[in-house]
Structure 1
Amino acid sequence: MSKKGNLFSFVGAAFALIATYITSAVPIPLYGIYQTADHIGYVELSLSSVVYFIGAVTALVVFGRLSNHLGRKPVAVISLLLAALSTLFFLNVHSAAPLLLGRLCQGLACGLASTALASWVVDCAFTVRAWIAPAILSCGPMTGLTIGGLGSGALTEYGPIPRQLPFYVVLAVLLVCLLFVLRSQETMAPKSGAMRSLKPNFALPPSAKKAFPLAACTFVCTWALGGFFQAFGPAMAREQLHSTSAVAAALVFASIMAPSSIGASLAGKMSSKRAQFAGMLSFTLFVGCILFTLSSGLLIPFLIASVLAGIAQGMVLTGSIQTMVSELTADERANVLSVIYATSYMGAAVPTLIAGQFSEHFSLLQVAGAYGVLALLGSVILIAAKLKQKSAGAITDN
């Protein structure tokens, strides 16, 4: 089968994927304002993250294979338009309703982007080095969240209209992305069966199915902590680290997201399974450091620990995704990616929902401790699997 796509299409799809996630992070530094000025509480803030994750999972499960039938470009355009629509809700947030509606649109946009745009990236991966496409898939969302969070924090803290300016800026970015996408080369010819594709399908090809259990374990453990930072990052900055600055809130959120690309590049220099294993153990260690610095109220050491955890997170996610996508055909990519991201989003949504309820009765530090236990459990599972594999290899050799 001849390869379709070109470098411009790869760059356009990658740029649009990241921009969609930039949009989803823009409201987060404003959560402190929503709390103090509009009296939106912890339950509503955690619910906004859950609604976002539900929107993403719905898009992944129901519409995840739609780009195989309509083409990558039309579905990518829809995802960008949904991201743009979300900003309109956030221009006038004074209660929970527009916050929830905006986050729902962002979730749907990110879910569609995670299949159509991510599949488009893989379609054009032959135009770049082998490790770059998996790095975009694993760290593109994190990179977008980082840029969105930090940019929004700076504009909120120093801009003339803090509650609106970040959303005007991101609307301009989305417009540029739309122009890129419209000029990019389609890699999937339209074909029949679009309506049938809406029926959820969790079947995986053999290579991806074999790698899925351990990969899913790492997706849940790492994305769960990301969900906690997304929902409670500003609260941690204010309550545990004693800073009311929107920039500090953005730094807390971004510290776990930004360094993932470094981890992705490190994963590119080793085998996917080694990156998965070493990344997960390192991630668990640095989550422990996060909890220690958070309990001590030390902002700078906390940010350093979060950066190191983010690097480890990028390593484990890139390794895990590579174990699942390296042997896929073009028709298999969208469905496998939808399973990957649906698992990741659910791994973030369920703990965030539970954390929102527990935050009414326990301190944020106590809630954060549960995420440390989850990371430790993930490492134990990977160690057990590695020991079992070695044991099976020894038996085979004998």
Structure 2
Amino acid sequence: MVGDRQGWLRCLLAGAVFVVGMTGTTLPTPLYPLYQEKFGFSELTVTVVYAVYAFGVIGALLLAGNASDRIGRRPTLFWGLGFAAASAVCFLSADGLDWLYAGRLLSGLSAGLFTGAATAYVMDLAPPGGQSRATLVATAANMGGLGCGPLLAGLLAEYAPEPLLLPFAVHLALVAASALVLLRLPETVRDPRPLSSVRPQRPALPAQVRPVFVPAAIASFAGFALFGVFTSVSPAFLARYLHVDNHAVSGLIVALAFFASTAGQLAVGRFGVSRSLPLGCAVLFAGLAFLAGALSVELLALVVLAAVVGGVGQGLSFRAALSAVAAAAPVDRRAAVISTLFVVAYTGISIPVIGVGLLSEPLGLEQAGLVFTGCMLVLVTSAALYLLRRPVPTRTP
């Protein structure tokens, strides 16, 4: 009993470090309108600054996705915290666009290292028989941390001084506290190897995975694209068209999407993978439809519904996609296959987001958002129709 309590305490502390790591990746979200005002750049630049983060994540996944299996969980997470601290320093020093690009790239590298290493660490530290509950801790920490970023920054920007400095100073302090916590936690990888043993991972897609991977990848791409648009241009849309100038409200609306995703991921255990993936596509479709309605009639309630419903759909579809792809992959190639799915997912928060930025110049932000929504609706419908004809194998994550 004492051992179980100690195991769960360590598991939760690792989860708290995970939350801090992911919080930094979405911290700038409600602050983009302030940066636009300060540096005078366009919506396209906002989307490119945001997409640089995704390129950092993809780079970390491809170059060091298996790092924690080789050098250990703690060293990998210390590297992740180091990149997070360097990102915060860039934003604290920002006097031009170059600092924002550097800060987002470093933030992406941090997230890429944290995503796999922290998930594995939380599960490693759980007591025997607690893997299922530990998975929920990791899921909640991941998406919960992403939701805490815009919420924290929005509150500090609205109700505290120095809105472009204080959020990053607070996060830097949280990173330092997390490093101290990590020092007290044990390493769970036996016989860790030196850093030189880390090798780049190639995306892999064995033949038996492809029938499952296609709809899973489409749903993941669309869900992450929705998140990308919410976290890059929604604050500008709220301010410009709905006259929501309160940064805390903007941050809360974005945070709702991530918190709803956590709820959707938790629901997969109840519905099962085979039903959750098509159900997630259907809910994601509804969320995109609400987003299209919000862009068309400029109604705040529809923006909130798009965040909540779209977030639930993304959570359902992505966790089910991840479970289905992992179940279909050969054991010796599972990590590479999962990394490939994450590469597709994070491509979803870069290329479509930049597309919205490009279209916003000639069409305006509303029309650009409608074009994006239409494309994503077609993708989600295609995935759903495919799944109706070829259901994924039944397996509870």
TM-score, scaled to structure 2: 0.88
Is 1:202 the counterpart of 2:185? The answer is: no
Shift of 1:132: 4.2
CA contact (8 A) 1:145 1:254 kept: yes
Paired AA for residue 178 in structure 2: C
Q: For each residue in 1:182-211, what CA deviation from the matched residue of structure 2 results, as whole angstroms up to 9, or x when unmatched?
A: 222322224558646423322357876663
Q: For each residue in 1:210-242, what CA deviation from the matched residue of structure 2 results, as whole angstroms up to 9, or x when unmatched?
A: 632222111100001111112102111112222
Secondary structure at the counterpart of residue 95 of structure 2? coil
Shift of 1:329: 9.5
Q: Which residue is equivalent to 1:352?
A: 353
CA contact (8 A) 2:80 2:110 kept: yes
Paired AA for residue 249 in structure 1: S
CA distance in 1, matches of 2:177, 2:259: 23
Alignment of 1:92-241 (within 5 A): 92-124=93-125, 131-135=132-136, 140-190=141-191, 195=196, 197-203=198-204, 211-241=212-242
CA contact (8 A) 2:228 2:353 kept: yes
Q: For each residue in 1:346-398, what CA deviation from the matched residue of structure 2 results, as whole angstroms up to 9, or x when unmatched?
A: 121111122222121112122222332233223332333234337xxxxxxxx
CA distance in 2, matches of 1:344, 1:269: 24
Structure 1 residues 91 and 341 mapped into 2: Cα distance closer, same or farther (>3 Å)? Answer: same
Alignment of 1:1-398 (within 5 A): 6-124=7-125, 131-135=132-136, 140-190=141-191, 195=196, 197-203=198-204, 211-325=212-326, 334-389=335-390
CA contact (8 A) 1:266 1:315 kept: yes
Secondary structure at the counterpart of residue 233 of structure 2? helix
CA contact (8 A) 1:134 1:322 kept: no
Structure 1 residues 143 and 50 mapped into 2: Cα distance closer, same or farther (>3 Å)? Answer: same
CA contact (8 A) 2:257 2:308 kept: yes
The farther-off stretch of 196-205 and 376-385 is: 196-205
Secondary structure at the counterpart of residue 350 of structure 2? helix
CA distance in 2, matches of 1:126, 1:337: 25
Paired AA for residue 316 in structure 2: M
Structure 1 residues 95 and 161 mapped into 2: Cα distance closer, same or farther (>3 Å)? Answer: same
CA contact (8 A) 1:118 1:137 kept: yes
Equivalent pairs, count:
386
CA distance in 2, matches of 1:248, 1:361: 29
The farther-off stretch of 194-203 and 311-320 is: 194-203
Secondary structure at the counterpart of residue 40 of structure 1? coil
CA contact (8 A) 1:64 1:338 kept: yes
The farther-off stretch of 140-149 and 124-133 is: 124-133
CA contact (8 A) 1:286 1:306 kept: yes
Structure 1 residues 145 and 295 mapped into 2: Cα distance closer, same or farther (>3 Å)? Answer: same
CA distance in 1, matches of 2:253, 2:144: 14
CA contact (8 A) 1:115 1:337 kept: no
Shift of 1:154: 0.6
CA contact (8 A) 1:287 1:306 kept: no
Q: Give the aligned CA root-mean-square deviation in angstroms.
A: 2.7
CA distance in 2, matches of 1:343, 1:328: 16
TM-score, scaled to structure 1: 0.88
CA distance in 1, matches of 2:21, 2:286: 31
Paired AA for residue 285 in structure 1: A
CA contact (8 A) 1:237 1:249 kept: yes
The farther-off stretch of 209-218 and 223-232 is: 209-218
Shift of 1:279: 1.0
Paired AA for residue 155 in structure 2: A
Secondary structure at the counterpart of residue 346 of structure 2? helix
Paired AA for residue 99 in structure 1: L
Shift of 1:266: 1.7
Secondary structure at the counterpart of residue 190 of structure 2? coil
CA distance in 1, matches of 2:119, 2:207: 21
CA distance in 2, matches of 1:177, 1:116: 15
CA contact (8 A) 1:237 1:248 kept: no
CA contact (8 A) 1:59 1:111 kept: yes
Q: Which residue is equivalent to 1:396?
A: none
Structure 1 residues 369 and 134 mapped into 2: Cα distance closer, same or farther (>3 Å)? Answer: farther
Shift of 1:342: 1.8
CA distance in 2, matches of 1:291, 1:129: 42
